[in-house]
Amino acid sequence: MPVSKTVRDALEGSSMIRRLFEEGAELKKIHSAVFDFSLGNPDLDPPEAFYRTLNELAREKVKGSHGYMSNAGFFETRAALAKKASRDQECEIPASNIIMSAGAAGALNVIFKSILDAGDEVIVPKPYFMEYRSYVSNHGGKIVEVSTKEDFSLDLEKIENAFGGKTKAVLINSPNNPTGSVYPRADMEKLGALLKQRGAKTKNYPYLVADEPYREIVYSGVSVPSVFNAYSEAVVATSFSKSLSLPGERIGYIAVHPGIQNSEETLAALVYATRVLGFVNAPALMQRIVAKLTAERVAVEVYESRRNAFMNVLDSVSMSYARSGGAFYVFAKVPARKDGSSDDREFSACLKKHLILGVPGSGFGAPGWIRFAYCVDENIITGSAPAFRAALAEWTG
Amino acid sequence: MPVSKTVRDALEGSSMIRRLFEEGAELKKIHSAVFDFSLGNPDLDPPEAFYRTLNELAREKVKGSHGYMSNAGFFETRAALAKKASRDQECEIPASNIIMSAGAAGALNVIFKSILDAGDEVIVPKPYFMEYRSYVSNHGGKIVEVSTKEDFSLDLEKIENAFGGKTKAVLINSPNNPTGSVYPRADMEKLGALLKQRGAKTKNYPYLVADEPYREIVYSGVSVPSVFNAYSEAVVATSFSKSLSLPGERIGYIAVHPGIQNSEETLAALVYATRVLGFVNAPALMQRIVAKLTAERVAVEVYESRRNAFMNVLDSVSMSYARSGGAFYVFAKVPARKDGSSDDREFSACLKKHLILGVPGSGFGAPGWIRFAYCVDENIITGSAPAFRAALAEWTG
């Protein structure tokens, strides 16, 4: 019996990032120096406090601590994270409004399962992390892409024009993968006002879903404003994958605005979706660990130093790029060839010949751009300059 | 904006087990002795080797050990579990055919996402674990229930009659929740022969999906036969939730028959579904732990002793029940009242008045029956006899 037709189709066009990752692994077997900027796999070690807490909890034998708990998670963990989320979102969030999840990817699937019916639309500013397409289509929904402005900031007019009878939610991601953009407070407020206006007009307030796994990965002078202050029909998905370098442990949470309409039903739906999608609950031991690490994060200054090093490399070869305030990506513009063309897939292939791996912007809905993930040793970044120079010489001819 | 209509409908009729669990928690606040046989939450401690291994790994600092790995899991873990699955299934299974999952619930969602298109049918013998309905409908499929024989063994004629143009899979669960039945080797062989015959006739071999979280929880004289020996288009979902008492950690795996048709595509689909459903991968630390515990299991003899104690209690009040070979459930027949009625919801309510909690069989598609989970202290089981006696006196009048 063949597999699902929709999955078979998806496999054919499957993840460009994953394919690059595999090609990278092949290249590394042959070449000693590969400049692999393809995958956003945080390479910084988790903070010392993580190892300390893991050891402490490993020694404890608490009856039932590896057993089932409420599908929403351990109450102590939800209470601890409610305090953290209250600080982040600048408003009082009760423990009941925190649902533990298997990372942000798990959180988003739970959210979309909870809110979408077949044919419902989710508006997403592009470029965006392409897995969102699956997270929405898994549950019968449809992504409606809207362009951002030239600097990758929100284009509110475009969002307004995308509203329709099937609009169920707007999905944002700040700090952004792939651009590194952080939406400033003023833009968040304007987005909130637009959603309120839409809600008042249609008597149906769209959900605002904010994917925030990079909230803690921001640099000097940049801060990520509250989503909840801007709009109350809001749900935040986040994880400790980046802030504590634990992406393999699949631990994150959903925070629901304390003033959301249908509060009880929304929370019940999220808990239900957590259960029936087979997550059942977020991994127990990691729930107990992150509850104790709400003040910890990885050495973000290392990422900042790498970002600066990467910008230096790109400056040295006269490539232009988006101003990145956070996350660990530089989104660079593909230089025009002599004939004026700037195909990002061809450019990525050209870079690969010089052992540089970057993901074509087409993979994020932004042809003509390329994403470099700089969660690699700084020596690899600085060491890539000659390879960039050679690749560009070949590219521009 | 309201939540999803389908989720809202589901919430209304939501889990009878969960509701009982919550009512039980309320009752326990008031009464010192509640005989709570509602939830299948293993209460035995994980084996000593689990704590030892957890402590060893907690002390190690291996670069990237909490980071992303292949979506299918760490290779070392897959290789170790391939050996275990090879023993269980009595055939040589390569590491590539093991996909790590977030428990069996995660595994089943991944499997159904991988194989189902909208409208596809999955045949399930009843009674069955009602969450299967969600695991199938989440991915557009539809459960087709077939009755079992009076002793809850497979009724092959019923299965054959249920085959249709939309049949994509048959889903079995042995040892069974809620009946405790273990399908004997001869029945598995007949099922395999039936599926082969169907495949040869239609040129489309249905998948056989076996949910096996209770494989290790079987008692004297009972063994669980191989699924893979019976049929090659087979996929097994399992977990360490019961065998190592780790249900909160969400760790399990999918084993794919080494001789399955479309092998490469099936494995790719399962890996893809693991990724896009938001599991991304099974929790990293637990993957490393279970790889070292393939020869370990909880003290099954304790469950056996409790089963015997539970049967004694039911014998003492002349209630009849299914012969249970495994899992930790006794499925008992609701006695007829004077007027001949034997409504399981009413009986469950009557028991509750006497502080006994059991799940009505209707919750598993078996009205007239009631499920008691005996993963509780044996004193609670033996201590429940007077309450059973009083409840039955009231029930039969």
Verify whether the Cβ–Cβ distance B278 to A116 is below 8 Å. Answer: no
Q: Identify whether the C-beta of residue B20 lies closer than 8 Å to the C-beta of residue B359.
A: yes
Task: Return the residue in A11, A44, A276, A328 with the most chain B beta carbons within 10 A, the one to mutate for interface testing.
Answer: A276
Report the amino acid identity of residue A303.
Answer: Y
C-alpha–C-alpha distance, residues B254 and B270, integer Å: 9
Q: From A246, which residue of chain B is nearest by alpha-carbon distance?
A: B66
- Residue among A5, A68, A139 minimizing CB distance to B117: A5
Contact yes or no for A185/A225 (Cβ under 8 A) = yes
Looking at beta carbons, which residues of chain B come within 8 Å of A14? Answer: 272
Domain membership flag for residue A220: yes
Q: Is residue A117 in some structural domain?
A: yes
Query: Is A20 in the same domain as A71?
Result: no
**Left, alpha or beta for A197 (phi > 0: left; psi -120 to 50: alpha)?**
alpha
Judge whether B216 is closer than 8 Å to chain A, CB to CB.
no
* CB of A165 less than 8 A from some CB of B: no
In a domain? residue A53: no
Task: Kindly report the backbone phi and psi dihedral angles of residue A164, in degrees, each rounded to the nearest multiple of 5, phi listed first.
Answer: -155, 180
State which amino acid sits at residue A241.
Answer: S
Given B272, B290, B308, the domain boundary residue is B290
pLDDT for the residue numbered B372: 97
User: In Å, what is the CA distance from B294 to each residue of A270, B239, B256?
Assistant: 34, 12, 18
A147 burial (CB, 10 Å; 0-12 / 13-18 / 19+) is middle
Separation of alpha carbons B258 and B236, rounded Å? 12
Judge whether B159 lies within some domain: yes
**CATH code for the domain of A185:** 3.40.640.10
- Phi-psi region at A35: left, alpha or beta (left = phi > 0; alpha = psi -120 to 50): beta
Same domain, A155 and A238: yes
**A238–chain B nearest CA distance, Å:** 13
Contacts by residues A13-20 (CB-CB < 8 Å, ≥ 24 positions apart):
A14/B272, A15/A130, A15/A131, A15/B275, A16/A130, A16/A359, A16/A360, A16/A362, A16/A363, A17/A359, A17/A363, A18/B275, A20/A348, A20/A357, A20/A359
Continuous H helices in chain B: 5-12, 16-30, 48-59, 75-89, 103-115, 131-137, 156-162, 185-202, 263-276, 284-290, 300-316, 344-353, 378-383, 385-396
Are B370 and B345 a contacting pair, CB within 8 Å? Answer: no
pLDDT at B13 (0 to 100) = 65
Residue A91's pLDDT is 96
The answer to whether residues B242 and B383 belong to one domain is no
In a domain, B179, yes or no: yes
Q: Which amino acid is at A144?
A: V
Helix, strand, coil % in chain B, rounded to nearest 5: 45, 15, 40
Q: How many domains does chain B have?
A: 2
Strand partners, A101: A252
Q: Say whether both B261 and B388 belong to one domain.
A: no
Which regions of chain B are under pLDDT 70?
13-16, 18
Distance of residue A176 Cα from the nearest chain B Cα, in angstroms: 19
- Asked whether residue B91 falls in the same domain as residue B211, the answer is yes
B247 and B158 within one domain: yes
List the beta bridge partners of residue B169: B122, B207
Of A105, A207, A279, the CB nearest to B1: A207
| A349 interfaces chain B, CB cutoff of 8 Å | no
CA distance B78 to A76: 34
State pTM to two decimals.
0.96
Does any CB of chain B come closer than 8 Å to the CB of residue A242? no
User: Are A327 and A127 in contact, with CB atoms under 8 Å apart?
Assistant: no
Q: In this complex, do A265 and B205 lie within 8 Å of one another by their Cβ atoms? A: no
Query: Inter-chain contact A54–B58, Cβ cutoff 8 Å?
Result: yes
Do the Cβ atoms of A265 and B117 come within 8 Å? no
Determine the distance in angstroms separating the CA of B55 from the nearest CA of chain A, rounded to an integer. 5
| Confidence (pLDDT) at A15 | 63
Residue of B nearest to A53 (CA): B58
Q: Which among A55, A67, A272 has CB closest to B248?
A: A67
Which residue matches tokens 């692994």?
A: A25
- Which of B5, B69, B286 is closest, CB to CB, to A117? B5
Name the token pair of B379.
């004193």
Tokens (6 digits) for B259: 């001789």
Chain B contact set for A247 (CB, 8 A) = 66-68, 280
CA distance A66 to A56: 15
Lookup: tokens for A25: 């692994």
Tell me, yes or no, whether A352 lies in a domain.
yes
Q: Are residues B230 and B332 in the same domain?
A: no
Residue A102: list chain B partners with CB under 8 A: 102, 250, 278-280
Residues A284, A306 within the same domain: no
Bridge partners of residue A189, in order along the sequence:
none
Backbone angles phi, psi at A344, to 5 degrees: -70, -30
The partner residue sitting opposite B66, judged by closest CB among A1, A11, A46, is A46
B43 touches chain A (CB under 8 A): yes
Nearest CA distance, A22 vs chain B (angstrom): 10
State whether residue A91 sits within 8 Å of chain B by CB: no
**Residue A328 and residue A187 share a domain:** no
Tell me if chain B has a CB within 8 Å of the CB of A342.
no
Q: Does B103 touch chain A (CB under 8 A)?
A: yes
Of B1, B45, B138, the CB nearest to A277: B138
Q: Give the end of a domain, one of A290, A309, A332.
A: A290
Residue A59 lies in a domain: no
Beta carbons of B7 and A261 less than 8 Å apart: no
H or E element that contains A301: helix A300-316
Based on the domain organization, do B78 and B227 belong to the same domain?
yes
Partner A contacted by B250 (CB < 8 A): yes
- Which of A39, A268, A283 is facing B250, going by the closest CB pair? A283
Tell me, yes or no, whether B222 and B344 share the same domain: no
Complex ipTM, two decimals?
A: 0.96
B21 near A CB under 8 A: no
User: B-chain residues within 8 Å CB-CB of A109?
Assistant: 277-278
Domain extent, residue B84, equals 64-290
Out of A3, A61, A278, the one facing B102 most closely (by C-beta) is A278
Tell me the chain B residues in contact with residue A207 when contact means C-beta distances shorter than 8 Å: 1
Q: What is the CATH number of the domain that holds A323?
A: 3.90.1150.10
Q: What is the mean pLDDT of each run of 10 residues along chain A (397 residues)?
A: 87 70 82 89 94 96 92 97 98 98 98 97 97 96 97 97 98 97 97 98 97 95 96 98 97 98 95 97 98 96 96 97 92 96 95 95 95 96 97 95
A319 and A284 assigned to the same domain: no
- Residue A66: which of B46, B64, B261 has the nearest Cβ? B46
Is A55 within the bounds of a domain?
A: no
Q: Which of B237, B265, B290 is the last residue before a domain boundary?
A: B290
